Amino acid sequence: MATSITVKLPNGVEYEQPTGLFINNEFVPSAKGETIKVVNPSTEEELAQVHAADASDIDKAVKAARTAFNTVWKNYSVDEISRLLYKLADLFERDLELLSAIEAADSGKPKAQNAAGDVEGAIQLFRYFAGWADKRSGTICENDKNTLAYVVHEPHGVCGQIIPWNYPIGMASWKIGPAIAAGNVIVLKLAENTPLSMLYVGKLIAEAGFPPGVINIVNGYGSVAGSALCTHPDVDKIAFTGSTATGKLIMKMCADTLKNITLECGGKSPLLVFDDCNFEEAVKWAHIGIMSNMGQICSATSRIYVQDTIYDKFVEALKEHTIKTSKVGDVFDDSVFQGPQVSALQQKRVLSYIEKGKSEGARVVLGGNAITGKGYFIEPTIFADVDDSMTVMREEIFGPVVCISKFKTEEEAITRANDTTYGLGSAVFSENNSRCLRVARAIRAGSVWVNCDNTASPRVPFGGFGMSGIGTELGTYGLDIYSVKKAITVNIGVKL
Ligand code: NAD
């Protein structure tokens, strides 16, 4: 099969889509000619067939990365690395329209209201980490007078990176930016059903001037290509974003070769609305916190706890605001807020949770059904009076479905917010600053948003407690996970 095809997007734009495995700056076919069908979730039509890597393809990509690391890459200065990341950001900016359109068609993100923001976020992120590439520094340790001890930050080497389908460009940029800034080389495995935008980015990586083998991008099934990357003896680190179930598997697979790991997994994040909040703001942010990206956000605030004094008013206001704001439909219509779920499987999974919520007695305030016709669309759904023991309140649904419940006291709200095995995101709404600061400290979550929800910035770290994962991405902490701290002790005075 060819390694590129002409694709015509639903907005009429035609472009050359790479479909091969991006290894050594070239698109090559998979060894056995295996392919994966990529479907437009809005229309259920095929967009492309892309090559699927097996273990031998992964080995080829790892060898390319290792060779680059041991030869050309180690001679690159920090200025040159920085310039490459800036250049990549510039190319993303040049191709913003096309990248957003590919992302919209492939993953069902409304182009204007969602996909474009992901591309802009990646541009900002590459520039942020480009800025760090030439500012990395270790430390000098105060030791004894006879030694000079200092610490240098060495790259791990070959980083295997595995990303999910909910933010193909977003999650890839979170992985590529800091890893490259810290001097590593990469084999990035895409989520099998949303590979198109990042395969296109392969072209931009070559155009930016990255040496062959520094960034390799492969598509393939998790159980085949993903596991081959995790078990490969010459991969030094695995950085994974995806479900908690897969995160557990990856941790086990990495154990044999004792790989350094970062796991960004799932969540069931709480949002607390106190009666002293700015009510309109709380309603608007609550909507963004769960309904953005079709609810397919790991840190989506999917459990809303509202103080009893404003509970009924809040439920009604969130319903009205959602009806007004969550326009569902054509992802190429600029006024559309919500597209389809990413796949038939995800649509089925979310609908089965909705049915479970209904059967367990949660009150449907809004939605609760699939939208008939082509595409994997689901109505934005609000459940109220949800009991903490119900499945919909405990498990990650990963769809436009929110559960609301009422509380009386601050202490109760905190206890119930923390009643989860996850600990990724959270939000607090109150105009009482002392309360906000108190609650923010008491919530066991990697991110607490106060009077806002799910804001993201490359400068602000992101990670979680418990089943939400291991390690922190973004910010200086996110740079830190991509290096090993090497201590060098020099004898400057002791004679034996
Ligand atoms: P997933 O775990 O099914 O897949 C994620 C990636 O892992 C894909 O590339 C997949 O091919 C790969 N994979 C699957 N099985 C594998 C295996 N056995 N070995 C190696 N790789 C394997 O998750 P998903 O359904 O694609 O994504 C949704 C999940 O991602 C949600 O749970 C969400 O919360 C989570 N997520 C977390 C974050 C975060 O930063 N914490 C961000 C986005 C998404």
Report the nearest atom of ligand 1 relative to the CA of 229.
20
Output the 3-class SS for 398-456. Answer: CCCEEEEEEECCHHHHHHHHCCCCCCCCCEEECCCHHHHHHHHHHCCCCCCEECCCCCC
92 bridge partner residues: none
C-alpha 472/C-alpha 459 separation (Å) is 12
Contacts of 359 (CB under 8 A, 6+ apart): none
C-alpha 27/C-alpha 15 separation (Å) is 16
pLDDT at res. 413:
98
* Ligand 1 site, residue 73, Cβ cutoff 6 A: no
Amino acid sitting at position 272: L
Look at the chain and count its residues.
496
Q: Which helix (H) or strand (E) holds 5?
A: strand 4-8
pLDDT at res. 1:
83
Distances (CA, A) of 101 to 171, 330, 334: 17, 12, 12
Task: Return the DSSP state at 378.
Answer: B
156-171 in b/e form (b: 16+ CB < 10 A) is bbbbbbbbbbbbbbbb
pLDDT at res. 225:
98
* Contact indicator for 294, 339 with CB cutoff of 8 Å: yes
User: Which CATH number does the domain 270-455 belong to among 3.40.50.970, 3.40.309.10, 1.20.1250.20, 3.30.1330.40?
Assistant: 3.40.309.10
* Contact indicator for 482, 259 with CB cutoff of 8 Å: no
- Rounded to the nearest angstrom, the distance between the alpha carbon of 435 and the centre of ligand 1 is 35
pLDDT at res. 17:
98
Atom 42 of ligand 1: nearest residue by CA position: 298
C-alpha 118/C-alpha 96 separation (Å) is 10
pLDDT at res. 142:
87
CATH fold of the domain at 4-264+470-484:
Aldehyde Dehydrogenase; Chain A, domain 1 (3.40.605)
- Rounded to the nearest angstrom, the distance between the alpha carbon of 330 and the centre of ligand 1 is 26
pLDDT at res. 129:
98
Q: 177 is written with which tokens?
A: 């930016």
- Give me the sheet containing 260-264, strands edge to edge: 26-28, 21-23, 215-218, 185-189, 158-162, 237-241, 260-264, 469-470
pLDDT at res. 311:
98
* H helix runs in 267-343, sequence order: 279-291, 311-325
Domain segments of the chain as ranges:
4-264+470-484, 270-455
Tell me which residues of the chain have a pLDDT lower than 70. Answer: none
C-alpha 116/C-alpha 99 separation (Å) is 8
Angle (nearest 5°) at CA 299 between 43 and 320: 65
pTM exceeds 0.85: yes
CA dihedral 419, 425, 429, 430 (to 10 degrees): 80
* Ligand 1 site, residue 223, Cβ cutoff 6 A: yes
pLDDT at res. 346:
98
The residues that are catalytic are 264
- Rounded to the nearest angstrom, the distance between the alpha carbon of 39 and the centre of ligand 1 is 19
Q: Which helix (H) or strand (E) holds 253?
A: helix 244-255
Domains 4-264+470-484 and 270-455 share a fold: no
pLDDT at res. 39:
97
Which of 50, 241, 347, when mutated, tests ligand 1's pocket best, judged by the most ligand atoms within 8 Å of its CB? 241
